Amino acid sequence: MEVRLLEVAHARSGDKGDTANIGLIALRPEFYPVIVSEVTADRVKTHFKGICEGPVERFELPNLLALNFLLHQSLGGGGTLSLRTDAQAKTFGAALLRMEITVPDELGELIAGGAREGG
Amino acid sequence: MSDGAQSVRVASGQGFWGDWLEAPVLQVQSGPIDYLVMDYLAEVTMSILQKQRGRDPSQGYARDFVPLMGRILGTCIESGIRVIANAGGVNPLACRDAVFELANAEGLAGRARIGVITGDDLLERIDELLAAGVELRSMETGEPLEMVRDRIQSANAYLGAAPIIEALQRGADVVIAGRTTDTALTYAPMMFEHGWPRDDWDKLAAGVVAGHINECGAQATGGNTGVDWQSVDYIDIGYPIIESQASGEFVVTKHENLGGRVTEATVTEQLLYEMGDPSEYITPDCVADFRTIQLEQQAPNRVRVYGVSGYRATDQLKVSISYLAGYKAVGRMAYSWPDALAKAQTADRTIRGRLDRIGLRFDEVHTEYFGAGACHGSLAGPLGDDLPEVELRIGVKHSSERSAVERFSREIASLILAGPPTATGFGGGRPRVQEMVAYWPALIPKAHVQPRVEVEVVP
């Protein structure tokens, strides 16, 4: 089934110079393998077409059920040099959560259930 | 210290200069803590402070820190809470003197010891360093510092834990630093209290993780959370508190009677904030591997952090150099229904046409339509044609001519009478011309930076 990434993950984004970072975190352990296979660096690069002008790097943090993305050349020169509203990439995480991904049908019930215990 | 000698409580009070003024007061008043640590220095802050110091030699530090001390220093001294802050900016000694004056007025003469750390400021030493073969090449481009030498505004090395620990050893109740790493503010007291050896890389890495959790204030306790944000009590949000054990394990928590929340989700979000390569989080004191962090929700608002490993520190410190890179201004004008977006687009063409008419050229002219995809661009999907209002947001930058940017800032107002209808929202007046400050990150061998520590009783 197709879902928005928003249904299976949450995110926190920030900046380092002209690079945006997005931490993408699975809402439940069962969702982590799905985001690892679906949310590749290439897909993120395509998703941010017109915003991210440089390469996208991806790092895996299975211990935190998370992926970290670095989107290079994405902030109009970075923090103090940028003319953009979101010069510090604060909304990049939310922008990534717009992505449509394919998840196994059996996860459907869990998706309706929302965040994991304690989360 | 709490729980005998087992646990040390390090509370975060500010995540940046401009953060919630009540937060550090609530940390002190709402329950037991051992240390209050506050981060005031973003990169841009250093160049602003350097400019303030240039105008007035008694300035150049985070001025908010002094009235804050007026509110809490007496309580901190009575309760044995020690304060560590990088409020000193580019003038830690002036900050210390202001705290002396205030503490004296509060009747704390002879009762409080104030420590101050200097030696991070390299601005006056750049020629000496270049002559000594320290090239200070850009970490990003590899270019030599010559490229920007005559435009440098500030230059500071990021100091680690050692001078903070020295100040604590010498009995400082308040430690005022300049450019330390944000994380050292938290892990220095952990190293000091637990007596961790300087080469116990795993414990130091655990301290770095604790520091990363503390350094952005409420971002670890529900601020900006993407999980069930609707149910967070933001008004009285509790800032994070690290309960550190000698083993390196710690618990992230907050005062129970304050708002916010501490969950695996909120802590994970902060751990990933501004993350680069998670396998090598480099600090002056160790390199931490964030892939080893384990989290466990122990109880409501208590997240245990364990399993962290790290390795040997590098032999260099990071230097943050700022330099003047030109001027910019951003102008705004709002348009209402009907055809709000079309009007804003016409206004954009109008401004650009008028700039062409008078022959003004810029390095960049950037347009956004606020309320119609300014943040997410085309990712926002198709826009309705019935938007209630849209704000044109148009910015320019010029690498050298301030006058060109000033001229641009005067063009915006012409839209009020001489442009498309329903122009509004211009109460703020003409856009301000801002100096653009760029960053030149570099490395310096540790041997070239000698931190100095002074600890004195309030006279």
Could you tell me if B282 and B424 lie in one domain? no
Lowest mean pLDDT among A55-59, A79-83, B125-129, B186-190: A79-83
Measured CA distances, B301 to B15, B37, B297, B364, B413 (Å): 20, 20, 8, 47, 51
Which pLDDT value is given to residue A79?
Answer: 78
Residue B276 lies in a domain: yes
Let me know whether B343 and B283 are in one domain: no
Q: Are A83 and B375 within 8 A, CB to CB? A: no
B136 lies in the same domain as B239 = yes
Provide the shortest C-alpha distance from residue B206 to chain A (in Å): 15
pLDDT given for residue A113 in this prediction: 58
Residues B108 and B198 in one domain: yes
Domain housing B35: 7-143+156-320+445-453
pTM for the full predicted model: 0.96
What is the block-wise mean pLDDT of chain B (459 residues), using blocks of 10 residues? 69 96 98 98 86 93 97 97 98 98 95 97 96 95 94 96 98 98 98 98 98 98 97 98 98 98 98 97 98 98 98 97 95 97 97 96 97 93 90 97 96 94 89 93 97 97
3-class SS letters over chain A: CEEEHHHCEEEEEEEECCEEEEEEEECCHHHHHHHHHHCCHHHHHHHCCCCCCCCEEEEEEHHHCEEEEEECCCCCCCHHHCCCCCCCCCCHHHHHCCCEEECCHHHHHHHHHCCCCCC
> Measured between beta carbons, which residues in chain A are less than 8 angstroms from residue B374?
85-86
User: Is residue A112 scored above 80 in pLDDT?
Assistant: no
Q: CB distance B396–A81 less than 8 Å?
A: no
Q: Which CATH number fits domain A2-77+88-103: 3.30.1450, 3.30.70, 3.10.450, 3.90.1690?
A: 3.30.70
Residue B291 resides in a domain: yes
- Contact yes or no for B70/B108 (Cβ under 8 A): no
> Is this complex scored with an ipTM above 0.90?
yes
Q: Mark whether B332 and B298 lie in a shared domain.
A: no
Contact between chains at A64 and B268 (C-beta distance less than 8 A): yes
Do B105 and B230 have their domain in common?
yes
Q: Give the separation between CA B208 and CA B189, rounded to whole angstroms.
A: 12
Separation in Å, CA of B108 to nearest CA in chain A: 41
| Closest Cβ–Cβ partner in A48, A63, A78 for B294 | A63
Interchain CB distance below 8 Å, A80 and B224: no
pLDDT number for residue B42 = 84
Share of chain A above pLDDT 90, in %: 87
Q: Are residues B174 and B270 in the same domain?
A: yes
Tokens representing B12 are 């975060």
Best probe of the A interface among B215, B253, B272, by most A CBs < 10 A, is B272
Looking at residue A114, its pLDDT comes to 52
If asked whether residues B388 and B279 sit together in one domain, one would say: no
Cβ contact B343:B371 at 8 Å = no
Does residue B1 lie within any of the structural domains?
Answer: no
Distance of alpha carbon A61 from alpha carbon A67, whole angstroms: 6
Q: Which residues on B lie below 8 Å from A47 (Cβ)?
A: 379
SS3 for B290?
helix
Identity of the amino acid at A43: R
Same domain, B132 and B21: yes
Q: Reading across the β-sheet that carries B35-38, which strands appear in turn? A: B294-299, B302-306, B250-253, B241-245, B7-14, B35-38, B82-85, B174-176, B113-118, B452-457
Q: How far apart are CA A117 and CA B296, in angstroms?
A: 11
Asked if pLDDT for residue A117 goes beyond 60, the answer is: no
